[in-house]
Protein backbone atom coordinates (compact mmCIF):
# COMPACT_ATOMS: atom_id res chain seq x y z
CA UNK A 1 0.00 0.00 0.00
CA UNK A 2 1.10 3.56 -0.43
CA UNK A 3 2.63 5.40 2.49
CA UNK A 4 -0.27 7.75 3.01
CA UNK A 5 -2.71 4.87 3.26
CA UNK A 6 -0.54 3.02 5.78
CA UNK A 7 -0.30 6.19 7.87
CA UNK A 8 -4.05 6.80 7.76
CA UNK A 9 -4.74 3.14 8.60
CA UNK A 10 -2.36 3.25 11.60
CA UNK A 11 -3.93 6.41 13.00
CA UNK A 12 -7.45 5.11 12.42
CA UNK A 13 -6.82 1.74 14.06
CA UNK A 14 -5.21 3.51 17.01
CA UNK A 15 -8.37 5.60 17.40
CA UNK A 16 -10.42 2.38 17.35
CA UNK A 17 -8.10 0.97 20.03
CA UNK A 18 -8.82 3.98 22.24
CA UNK A 19 -12.56 3.53 21.70
CA UNK A 20 -12.28 -0.13 22.70
CA UNK A 21 -10.30 0.75 25.84
CA UNK A 22 -13.12 3.12 26.83
CA UNK A 23 -15.65 0.34 26.23
CA UNK A 24 -13.47 -2.00 28.33
CA UNK A 25 -13.38 0.43 31.25
CA UNK A 26 -17.04 1.44 31.16
CA UNK A 27 -18.52 -2.03 30.54
CA UNK A 28 -21.17 -3.13 33.03
CA UNK A 29 -20.95 -6.91 32.84
CA UNK A 30 -17.80 -9.04 33.03
CA UNK A 31 -18.63 -10.79 29.77
CA UNK A 32 -18.64 -7.45 27.95
CA UNK A 33 -15.20 -6.79 29.39
CA UNK A 34 -13.89 -10.12 28.15
CA UNK A 35 -15.40 -9.40 24.73
CA UNK A 36 -13.81 -5.93 24.67
CA UNK A 37 -10.41 -7.44 25.53
CA UNK A 38 -10.82 -9.92 22.67
CA UNK A 39 -11.67 -7.16 20.20
CA UNK A 40 -8.82 -5.02 21.56
CA UNK A 41 -6.39 -7.78 20.69
CA UNK A 42 -7.89 -8.07 17.20
CA UNK A 43 -7.25 -4.34 16.68
CA UNK A 44 -3.68 -4.80 17.93
CA UNK A 45 -3.17 -7.59 15.39
CA UNK A 46 -4.50 -5.31 12.64
CA UNK A 47 -2.12 -2.56 13.74
CA UNK A 48 0.83 -4.97 13.69
CA UNK A 49 -0.11 -6.22 10.20
CA UNK A 50 -0.31 -2.65 8.85
CA UNK A 51 3.00 -1.75 10.47
CA UNK A 52 4.73 -4.86 9.13
CA UNK A 53 3.39 -4.22 5.64
CA UNK A 54 4.44 -0.57 5.67
CA UNK A 55 7.96 -1.33 6.89
CA UNK A 56 8.33 -4.54 4.84
CA UNK A 57 9.50 -6.29 7.98
CA UNK A 58 7.84 -9.63 8.52
CA UNK A 59 8.92 -10.12 12.12
CA UNK A 60 5.99 -8.15 13.42
CA UNK A 61 3.70 -10.82 12.00
CA UNK A 62 5.13 -13.37 14.43
CA UNK A 63 4.15 -11.07 17.28
CA UNK A 64 0.68 -10.73 15.75
CA UNK A 65 0.27 -14.51 15.51
CA UNK A 66 1.35 -15.09 19.11
CA UNK A 67 -0.96 -12.29 20.25
CA UNK A 68 -3.90 -13.89 18.49
CA UNK A 69 -3.32 -17.32 19.98
CA UNK A 70 -2.77 -15.86 23.47
CA UNK A 71 -5.96 -13.82 23.28
CA UNK A 72 -7.88 -16.94 22.25
CA UNK A 73 -6.64 -18.87 25.27
CA UNK A 74 -7.21 -15.88 27.55
CA UNK A 75 -10.82 -15.27 26.56
CA UNK A 76 -11.56 -19.00 26.67
CA UNK A 77 -10.16 -19.45 30.18
CA UNK A 78 -11.63 -16.25 31.64
CA UNK A 79 -15.11 -16.85 30.22
CA UNK A 80 -15.22 -20.50 31.27
CA UNK A 81 -13.83 -19.81 34.72
CA UNK A 82 -16.15 -16.90 35.36
CA UNK A 83 -19.27 -18.81 34.38
CA UNK A 84 -18.57 -22.35 35.58
CA UNK A 85 -15.74 -21.94 38.11
CA UNK A 86 -13.76 -24.58 36.28
CA UNK A 87 -11.74 -24.49 33.11
CA UNK A 88 -11.32 -28.12 32.19
CA UNK A 89 -13.89 -30.83 32.47
CA UNK B 1 -1.54 0.61 -17.82
CA UNK B 2 -0.78 -3.03 -17.13
CA UNK B 3 -2.06 -5.18 -14.33
CA UNK B 4 1.18 -5.02 -12.38
CA UNK B 5 0.86 -1.31 -11.66
CA UNK B 6 -2.71 -1.75 -10.45
CA UNK B 7 -1.80 -3.99 -7.50
CA UNK B 8 -0.88 -1.20 -5.02
CA UNK B 9 -4.16 0.54 -5.75
CA UNK B 10 -6.10 -2.68 -5.18
CA UNK B 11 -4.27 -3.02 -1.86
CA UNK B 12 -5.23 0.55 -0.97
CA UNK B 13 -8.86 -0.21 -1.72
CA UNK B 14 -8.71 -3.31 0.45
CA UNK B 15 -7.24 -1.27 3.31
CA UNK B 16 -10.01 1.31 3.02
CA UNK B 17 -12.70 -1.40 3.02
CA UNK B 18 -11.02 -3.02 6.03
CA UNK B 19 -11.02 0.29 7.93
CA UNK B 20 -14.70 0.78 7.11
CA UNK B 21 -15.61 -2.72 8.29
CA UNK B 22 -13.60 -2.39 11.50
CA UNK B 23 -15.22 0.97 12.23
CA UNK B 24 -18.65 -0.60 11.74
CA UNK B 25 -17.62 -3.29 14.23
CA UNK B 26 -16.54 -0.71 16.82
CA UNK B 27 -19.80 1.24 16.37
CA UNK B 28 -21.72 -2.01 16.80
CA UNK B 29 -19.90 -2.88 20.02
CA UNK B 30 -20.51 0.60 21.44
CA UNK B 31 -24.18 0.92 20.51
CA UNK B 32 -25.60 -2.61 20.78
CA UNK B 33 -27.66 -3.01 23.96
CA UNK B 34 -26.62 -6.40 25.34
CA UNK B 35 -23.83 -8.94 25.10
CA UNK B 36 -25.65 -11.28 22.75
CA UNK B 37 -25.91 -8.62 20.04
CA UNK B 38 -22.47 -7.18 20.75
CA UNK B 39 -21.06 -10.60 19.88
CA UNK B 40 -22.33 -10.22 16.32
CA UNK B 41 -20.31 -7.06 15.74
CA UNK B 42 -17.25 -8.40 17.54
CA UNK B 43 -17.03 -11.81 15.97
CA UNK B 44 -17.81 -10.90 12.37
CA UNK B 45 -17.00 -7.30 11.51
CA UNK B 46 -13.68 -6.78 13.29
CA UNK B 47 -12.44 -10.23 12.35
CA UNK B 48 -13.23 -9.70 8.64
CA UNK B 49 -11.43 -6.35 8.78
CA UNK B 50 -8.27 -8.03 10.03
CA UNK B 51 -8.55 -10.65 7.27
CA UNK B 52 -8.90 -7.89 4.64
CA UNK B 53 -5.84 -6.09 6.00
CA UNK B 54 -3.83 -9.30 5.83
CA UNK B 55 -4.99 -9.80 2.22
CA UNK B 56 -3.86 -6.28 1.33
CA UNK B 57 -0.48 -6.97 2.87
CA UNK B 58 -0.26 -10.32 1.05
CA UNK B 59 -0.75 -8.61 -2.33
CA UNK B 60 2.34 -6.49 -1.94
CA UNK B 61 4.99 -8.49 -0.14
CA UNK B 62 7.13 -11.54 -0.88
CA UNK B 63 6.44 -15.20 -0.21
CA UNK B 64 7.65 -15.35 3.40
CA UNK B 65 5.40 -12.44 4.34
CA UNK B 66 2.45 -13.98 2.49
CA UNK B 67 2.77 -17.32 4.25
CA UNK B 68 2.94 -15.71 7.68
CA UNK B 69 -0.07 -13.53 6.94
CA UNK B 70 -1.93 -16.64 5.74
CA UNK B 71 -0.99 -18.34 9.01
CA UNK B 72 -2.46 -15.43 10.95
CA UNK B 73 -5.64 -15.65 8.86
CA UNK B 74 -5.89 -19.38 9.52
CA UNK B 75 -5.41 -18.95 13.26
CA UNK B 76 -8.05 -16.20 13.38
CA UNK B 77 -10.53 -18.22 11.32
CA UNK B 78 -10.10 -21.17 13.67
CA UNK B 79 -10.12 -19.32 17.00
CA UNK B 80 -12.49 -16.35 16.71
CA UNK B 81 -15.78 -18.33 16.41
CA UNK B 82 -14.79 -20.56 19.31
CA UNK B 83 -13.95 -17.62 21.56
CA UNK B 84 -17.19 -15.84 20.65
CA UNK B 85 -19.22 -18.96 21.31
CA UNK B 86 -17.59 -19.47 24.70
CA UNK B 87 -18.25 -15.84 25.67
CA UNK B 88 -21.89 -16.12 24.60
CA UNK B 89 -22.31 -19.39 26.44
CA UNK B 90 -20.77 -17.92 29.59
CA UNK B 91 -23.14 -14.94 29.43
CA UNK B 92 -26.03 -17.38 29.01
CA UNK B 93 -24.92 -19.48 31.97
CA UNK B 94 -24.71 -16.33 34.09
CA UNK B 95 -28.29 -15.43 33.09
CA UNK B 96 -27.49 -12.10 31.50
CA UNK B 97 -30.71 -10.48 30.38
CA UNK B 98 -31.53 -9.75 26.77
CA UNK B 99 -32.31 -6.05 26.68
CA UNK B 100 -32.68 -5.82 22.92
CA UNK B 101 -36.21 -4.69 21.91
CA UNK B 102 -38.17 -7.64 20.64
CA UNK B 103 -35.76 -10.25 21.97
CA UNK B 104 -37.05 -13.81 22.12
CA UNK B 105 -35.52 -16.41 24.41
CA UNK B 106 -36.38 -19.88 23.17
CA UNK B 107 -34.30 -21.71 25.77
CA UNK B 108 -36.97 -21.70 28.46
CA UNK B 109 -34.94 -19.64 30.92
CA UNK B 110 -36.84 -16.39 30.32
CA UNK B 111 -33.77 -14.27 29.75
CA UNK B 112 -35.78 -11.89 27.57
CA UNK B 113 -38.43 -11.13 30.21
CA UNK B 114 -38.70 -7.59 31.49
CA UNK B 115 -40.21 -8.42 34.88
CA UNK B 116 -37.01 -9.72 36.51
CA UNK B 117 -38.24 -13.23 37.11
CA UNK B 118 -34.62 -14.34 37.21
CA UNK B 119 -32.69 -11.24 38.25
CA UNK B 120 -28.97 -10.90 37.74
CA UNK B 121 -27.10 -10.91 41.06
CA UNK B 122 -25.87 -7.37 41.52
CA UNK B 123 -23.68 -7.79 44.59
CA UNK B 124 -20.31 -9.42 44.40
CA UNK B 125 -21.34 -12.09 46.89
CA UNK B 126 -23.85 -13.89 44.74
CA UNK B 127 -21.42 -14.38 41.91
CA UNK B 128 -19.07 -16.39 44.10
CA UNK B 129 -21.58 -19.17 44.54
CA UNK B 130 -21.25 -22.08 42.16
CA UNK B 131 -23.42 -21.37 39.13
CA UNK B 132 -26.38 -23.49 38.16
CA UNK B 133 -25.43 -25.92 35.46
CA UNK B 134 -28.11 -25.97 32.80
CA UNK B 135 -30.21 -29.04 32.34
CA UNK B 136 -32.58 -29.93 29.58
CA UNK B 137 -35.82 -28.94 31.31
CA UNK B 138 -36.67 -25.24 31.68
CA UNK B 139 -36.20 -23.40 34.94
CA UNK B 140 -39.89 -23.04 35.76
B76-102: pLDDT as tens digits: 999 999 999 999 989 888 878 788 887
Chain B residues touching A77 at Cβ < 8 A: none
Q: With 50 as the cut, is the pLDDT of residue B122 above it?
A: no
Angle at the Cα of A32 (from A26 to A38), degrees rounded to 5? 105
At residue A58, the pLDDT reads: 84
Interface probe with A: pick from B47, B63, B76, most Cβ of A within 10 Å: B76
Q: Kindly report which listed range (A66-70, B95-99, B124-128) carries the lowest average pLDDT score.
A: B124-128
CA dist., res. B61 & res. B9, Å (int): 14
CA dist., res. B39 & res. B37, Å (int): 5
Task: Give me the phi and psi of B105, to 5 degrees please.
Answer: -105, 110
At residue B34, the pLDDT reads: 87
Among chain A residues, the shortest Cα distance to B129 is held by: A85
CA dist., res. A85 & res. B42, Å (int): 25
pLDDT tens digit string along B3-49?
788 888 999 999 999 999 999 999 999 998 888 999 988 889 999 99
Chain A residues touching B87 at Cβ < 8 A: 31, 34-35, 38, 75, 79
Chain A residues touching B80 at Cβ < 8 A: 42, 72
**3-state DSSP helix/strand/coil percent for chain B, to nearest 5?**
65, 0, 35
Chain centroid to CA B14: 21
Interface probe with A: pick from B10, B11, B19, most Cβ of A within 10 Å: B19
Terminal-to-terminal C-alpha distance of chain A: 47
Amino acid sequence: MHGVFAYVASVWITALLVVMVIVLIRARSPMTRILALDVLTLYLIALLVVYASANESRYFLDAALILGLLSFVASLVTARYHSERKVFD
Amino acid sequence: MDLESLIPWIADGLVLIALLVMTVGAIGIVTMPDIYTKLHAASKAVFLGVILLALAAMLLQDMAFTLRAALICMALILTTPVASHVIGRAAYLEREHMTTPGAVDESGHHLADEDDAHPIPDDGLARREPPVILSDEPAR
